[in-house]
Amino acid sequence: MTELLYYHDSYLQDFEAIIVAVDKKEGRLRVALDRTAFYPGGGGQPNDIGWLTVDGRKLTVDSIKRDGGHLWHALGGMKGASIRIAPGQRVRCELDWARRYTLMRTHTAMHILCGVVWRDYGASVTGGDMKVGAGRMDFEFAAMSGELVADIERSCNVEIAAARPVITRTLPREEAFKIPDLIRTKINLLPKQIREVRTVELKGLDLQADGGTHTGNTGEVGSMRVVNYQSKGAINKRIYVEIGDPQA
């Protein structure tokens, strides 16, 4: 099993690891490492990208896939090069930090949005997605208006300014599911075989099961702006948001 460094330290930008397996899939060479800070994607958050230095050459890592207990790092930049890549080699790994940090801020912003809507309106989440610096979230609202989303935007920015601490924990499944409203989506997406649940708490605002990466406090988001909203059904409304520059 790959040790998931990002679970415990979202701010880890570079690290050393040992290759434990090498193979090819769909024509791409990929390696599994004993430990990684690369997030493989999930919960709407895209996977990380970056670089891996092996045998003196810096290669790109542009996709991460979970397969058979490992996280496989697909490698690029090998054309025309003769590189030794084998299990047991120690490698240096580096995240594309500017991209990762923006995704951390974006993911935290989505939790702020979810927490505000749940607290103020009791609306469950029916879906969501994010990209670098922007995202959308679907809620169980019967109706939505410009005035409503303006109020939501104001409340979200109040929570950003409050710089609430963001705390992660890993709990046994039985203990985690005793927490009221831990799962905010309409469908519980946690498979029964998962015996430990990672929780993310925006102190005083939001507490959910989540495996992604987040900032250390809400203030790092900088600001949030609602850029659009749509009706996606009788009781399904979509809110699109973008984040501003991080705080200095």
Q: What is the pTM of this model?
A: 0.91
Q: Give the DSSP H or E segment for 185.
A: none
Q: What is the pLDDT of residue 80?
A: 57
Q: What is the pLDDT of residue 237?
A: 96
Q: How far apart are CA 170 and CA 173, in angstroms?
A: 9
CATH of 3-95, one of 3.40.50.620, 3.40.640.10, 2.40.30.130, 2.40.30.30: 2.40.30.130
Closest by CA position to 136, among listed 167, 179, 106 = 106
Terminal-to-terminal C-alpha distance of the chain = 38
Name the residue ranges covered by the structural domains of the chain. 3-95, 100-243
Contact 12, 37 (CB under 8 A): yes
Return the axis-axis angle of helices 97-121 and 146-161, rounded to nearest 10°.
120
Contact 63, 72 (CB under 8 A): no
Q: How far apart are CA 66 and CA 172, in angstroms?
A: 22
Contact 218, 206 (CB under 8 A): no
Q: What is the pLDDT of residue 186?
A: 46
The single-letter code of the amino acid at 105 is: R
Class in CATH terms, 100-243: alpha beta
Q: Give pLDDT tens digits for 135-177.
A: 999 999 989 999 999 999 999 999 999 999 999 988 877 776 7
Query: What is the pLDDT tens value at each position of the chain, 248 positions in all?
Result: 899 999 999 999 999 999 999 998 877 899 999 999 999 998 899 999 999 999 888 999 999 998 888 999 999 877 656 788 999 999 999 999 999 999 999 999 999 999 999 999 999 998 899 999 999 999 999 899 999 999 999 999 999 999 999 999 888 777 767 776 665 554 455 556 666 788 899 999 999 888 899 999 999 999 999 999 999 888 899 999 999 988 75
Closest by CA position to 35, among listed 86, 93, 83 = 93
Closest by CA position to 74, among listed 45, 48, 100 = 48
Q: What is the pLDDT of residue 76?
A: 87
* Same fold: 3-95 with 100-243: no
Closest by CA position to 32, among listed 77, 68, 83 = 68
Q: What is the pLDDT of residue 69?
A: 81
The single-letter code of the amino acid at 170 is: T
Per-residue b or e along 156-192, where b marks 16 or more CB atoms closer than 10 Å to that residue's CB: bbebbebebebebeebeeeebeeeeebbbbeeeeeee
Q: What is the pLDDT of residue 235?
A: 87
Q: What is the pLDDT of residue 110?
A: 97
